[in-house]
Amino acid sequence: MTAMSENSTRPLRLPAPAKLNLFLHITGRRPDGYHELQTLFQLLDHGDELEISIQPDGQITFECQDQTLGAPDNNLVVRAARQLQQHTRTGLGAHITLYKHLPAGAGLGGGSSDAATTLIGLNHLWQTNLTLEALAELGVSLGADVPVFVMGHSAWAEGIGEKLTPVTLPEPYFVVLSPACHVNTGEIFSHQQLTRDSSPIKIAAFLAGQSRNDCEPLVRRLYPEVDSAIQWLSKFGPARLTGTGSSVFAPMASEQAARNVLQALNTAEDPALSGTKGWIAKGVNRSPVLKCL
């Protein structure tokens, strides 16, 4: 059994930050059904939170106030904990409480970030001493976005999203809108109308404005709420869909400018925006999870 220090027995509360895809190009489809892509991940200072404590009996238990997540055994947090437990053969268990702030199906990486924070937190508490690279390799089987959250840095990504090159990006304030709909990632990636033949680009092309989200036209056609959110937010800045989810974002010149946009949303009388929630987040290059540890 893994030895425990006094500090490792204390409950650990950690953030699980959201991400934005500043662009997303689908460059091909592999025989196994996964899509080859290029994207640029920007981490945010806003997201979910997890509280993790050790259970010496080896049991993995989970609780969350959000009842929409379904059975615990299917949750990425539980799957991540069990995967690390089996990989390291530790005899320790954990109780994990998830405080869910990010909507599901929003393209913000909530589930993947929760799984990554679970791996990082348990690696620390269980003193299993895996490197971040080893945790990222373990996490890719849970989801293509898990590695970027484990490595904890904004990154240029290729492959299925697991081939990461850390980059240092500007850290603007973003306005993020989450319409009242859940976009099914599987539906989008399997749709016949999805563009899958974008030519690979270099970072210089992105900086020159030569990028887009290949999923955005399809999502806007299938989900009118997303289309309305993009149209409205575009009045204040260059709005774009993030990932394959429902959330859209636009960078702002300042925090005050972002607050002004939220105020405009709160007083908007457009019925097409009914149920749309908005919030402000700051782009960060280094994950707040790593700062905590």
Residues marked active site are found at 19, 145
Asked whether residue 93 is marked as a ligand-binding residue, the answer is no
CB 249 within 8 A of CB 239: yes
- Distance CA(149)–CA(286), nearest Å, equals 10
Asked whether residue 186 is marked as a ligand-binding residue, the answer is no
Asked whether residue 94 is marked as a ligand-binding residue, the answer is no
- Distance CA(271)–CA(232), nearest Å, equals 12
How remote is the C-alpha of 218 from its chain's centroid?
A: 21
- Distance CA(179)–CA(98), nearest Å, equals 23
- Distance CA(34)–CA(280), nearest Å, equals 32
Burial 118-152 (b: 16+ CB within 10 A, else e): bbbbbbbbbebebebebbbbbbbebbbbbbbbbbb
Asked whether residue 110 is marked as a ligand-binding residue, the answer is yes
Asked whether residue 139 is marked as a ligand-binding residue, the answer is no
Structure tokens at 273: 């925006």
- Distance CA(152)–CA(112), nearest Å, equals 12
Asked whether residue 113 is marked as a ligand-binding residue, the answer is yes
Structure tokens at 156: 């240029």
- Distance CA(269)–CA(284), nearest Å, equals 33
Asked whether residue 104 is marked as a ligand-binding residue, the answer is yes
Asked whether residue 106 is marked as a ligand-binding residue, the answer is yes
Asked whether residue 205 is marked as a ligand-binding residue, the answer is no
Q: Binding site residues, as ranges?
A: 103-113
Q: Return binding residues for ATP.
A: 103-113
